[in-house]
Structure 1
Amino acid sequence: MKPAALFFGLLAGLAAPAGAEGLRRLETGTDSRGWEAVGRLDLGGTGFCTAALIAPDLILTAAHCLRERESGAPVPVTRMEFRAGWRNGRAAAYRQIRRAAAHPDYLWSPEEDASRVRYDIALLELDQPIRLPSLKPYDTGKSPERGAEVGVVSYARDRSEAASLQDLCHVLSRQSGMLVMSCDVDFGSSGAPVFSLRSDGLAEVVSVVAAKAELEGRKVALGSDLEGVIPVLKSALSDEEFHRRPAGSLPQMTDEPKASTGAKFLRP
């Protein structure tokens, strides 16, 4: 199906459960057409996330994907690999990662909370650009309003060998610099692009999935707000001083007050 015809599936560190309504596995080349620029970001044997190409040499994912899940230690970029359009053991393109930068205000914590989600986004530079006709980078767009229709394409724990598409979900609210969405996600889909459909029928990335939560007994997806974020990430990525910092000097969670969304975060 073409991007203009529908919306799509979620998360790299969060994934929708198999069989979820509106969730379909992109098993064939025809199914995957238009979504090949979404790929699996492998983290050197420690797991994987979802990422999306937004320039020939740049991908977006969640900032927490750059950290070891239990310790919070940085995952060396030399152990990361982007597998664009990964499907049934093959990718449309394979690229190593040259360097990566999380949002400068991202604060790692072993606990999920709204303060982390707000800035849980990262930009990664590939070692070589991807210039294939079938792998066109996605544009990024402004944050959708409450009630807007969005969709997601993602990999996940029980669907790691092919991306899945969720046809349609909605923005329930915008809070504290993040989106609360009805998209059905699970672990394994972190970093998945949230798409919106422009008036010209083209899909653009408007958020990145950061976590799942429970709101009034209903499972929801939480995504970082992209508005104004891409220039900040590009600046951090090109800041040589930023990349020379020792690993121990990376930001950690502080005792600042945490933003409240009314959502109960779900742990892995």
Structure 2
Amino acid sequence: MTRFFLNVLLCLSVLSTASHAQSGKRKLTDRDDLYGWEAVGRLDIGDQGFCTGTLIAQNLVLTAAHCAVERGTGEPYAPGKVTFRAGLSDGQSLADRKVVQIAVHPDYDDSARLSAEVVRADVALMRLEQPIPYSVADPFALHSGRVAGDEVSIASYGRGRSEAITRERSCRILQRRQGLITFNCDVTFGSSGSALLARKGPRWQILSVVSAVGSDGRQKVGFGMELSGIVSELKASLRRDAPQPKAAIRRLQVGSGKSNSGAKFISSGGG
């Protein structure tokens, strides 16, 4: 596994939206194509660029940590800077939601040189301002247990395919070792944060998050991490650090109504 990192690796967030022609992948451009994939969305990072994210709950988006922090400071993006656009296709999304809270893997270091350690920690969870109804997008479950065979799939946005989800129906796991997963799916800039999906029963489930791309000397190789335990820790972090609702204080006044017993009741706001 280490020898892969002797080759060039690149994180895959897009810092500009310039596009280049690509072919050979199926774009999901209408409602029928999108059926079952509505939970995949583009994460627009202000006017800086975009990544890909996937709903794992009505208000939670799983993505890569390097898609969730400011370069230079490593601090999570400010509330409202990132917008999740579920099922975006040709400029139209099924739902747009602002990201109001971000939890990043505690071991992720944006300033560190890209390495196996960085990829293993390249995971973030984003909470949306409002849930997206199940009738609009059905979130993906996390994969657990063994993967049958080595077939995986990926659905993402990317440079040259930024306006619609592009799905690669079948690609392969190359290796799983030391908390890393390598695969031969065709990832590109903007594919960062997209879910690597493994089939379990009738549905695809999230096995990993796309972090980086490199080469093993023969072919392009994508890199992700094992997710066991990470997502539950990030959920706990979101709960712990969630902004507390502001208390609304209203004066209580004696009401004028009476119960059968003759006792007066106390109501909020008088009456």
Please state which band the TM-score falls in when normalised by the shorter chain: 0.7 to 0.9
Flag the 1:72–1:103 CA change in 2: closer, same or farther, 3 A: closer
In the alignment, structure 1 segments of 5+ residues that lack a partner are 1-10, 244-268
Deviation (angstroms), 1:188:
1.1
CA contact (8 A) 2:215 2:221 kept: yes
Deviation (angstroms), 1:104:
1.4
1:55 corresponds in structure 2 to: 57
Flag the 1:192–1:113 CA change in 2: closer, same or farther, 3 A: same
2:216 corresponds in structure 1 to: 215
2:222 counterpart letter in structure 1: A
1:40 counterpart letter in structure 2: R
Runs of 4+ in 1 over 6 A off after TM superposition: 14-17
Deviates more, 1:70-79 or 1:109-118: 70-79
Q: Secondary structure at the match of 2:213?
A: strand
Flag the 1:151–1:86 CA change in 2: closer, same or farther, 3 A: same
Q: Secondary structure at the match of 1:235?
A: helix
CA distance, structure 2, for counterparts of residue 192 and residue 217 of structure 1:
24
CA distance, structure 2, for counterparts of residue 16 and residue 116 of structure 1:
29
1:120 corresponds in structure 2 to: 122
In the alignment, structure 2 segments of 5+ residues that lack a partner are 1-10, 244-271
Deviation (angstroms), 1:29:
1.4
Deviation (angstroms), 1:228:
1.6
1:92 corresponds in structure 2 to: 94
CA contact (8 A) 2:74 2:109 kept: no
Deviation (angstroms), 1:216:
2.3
2:84 corresponds in structure 1 to: 82
> Whose RCO is larger (CA < 8 A, sep 6+)?
1
2:252 corresponds in structure 1 to: none
Deviates more, 1:121-130 or 1:145-154: 145-154
CA deviation string 1:96-118 (max 9, x = no partner) = 11200011121223632211100
CA contact (8 A) 1:143 1:225 kept: no
CA contact (8 A) 2:153 2:185 kept: yes
TM-score using structure 2 length: 0.78
2:13 corresponds in structure 1 to: 13
2:257 corresponds in structure 1 to: none
The reply to whether residue 136 of structure 1 matches residue 138 of structure 2 is yes
Deviation (angstroms), 1:86:
0.5
1:255 corresponds in structure 2 to: none
Flag the 1:64–1:144 CA change in 2: closer, same or farther, 3 A: farther
* Paired positions, count: 230
CA distance, structure 1, for counterparts of residue 215 and residue 79 of structure 2:
32
CA deviation string 1:178-229 (max 9, x = no partner) = 2100111111110001111112x11111111011111123101101211121
Deviation (angstroms), 1:71:
6.2
1:139 counterpart letter in structure 2: A
Deviates more, 1:162-171 or 1:141-150: 141-150
Deviation (angstroms), 1:69:
4.4
TM-score using structure 1 length: 0.79
CA deviation string 1:144-164 (max 9, x = no partner) = 559511000000011111010
Flag the 1:130–1:79 CA change in 2: closer, same or farther, 3 A: same
Flag the 1:41–1:204 CA change in 2: closer, same or farther, 3 A: same
Deviation (angstroms), 1:13:
2.8
Q: Secondary structure at the match of 1:232?
A: helix
2:191 counterpart letter in structure 1: S
2:225 corresponds in structure 1 to: 224
CA distance, structure 2, for counterparts of residue 168 and residue 206 of structure 1:
14
CA distance, structure 1, for counterparts of residue 121 and residue 33 of structure 2:
32
Flag the 1:227–1:98 CA change in 2: closer, same or farther, 3 A: same
Answer with 1 or 2: which has the greater Rg: 2
Flag the 1:225–1:25 CA change in 2: closer, same or farther, 3 A: same
CA distance, structure 1, for counterparts of residue 144 and residue 134 of structure 2:
26
CA distance, structure 2, for counterparts of residue 12 and residue 91 of structure 1:
22
Deviation (angstroms), 1:175:
2.4
CA distance, structure 2, for counterparts of residue 16 and residue 181 of structure 1:
23
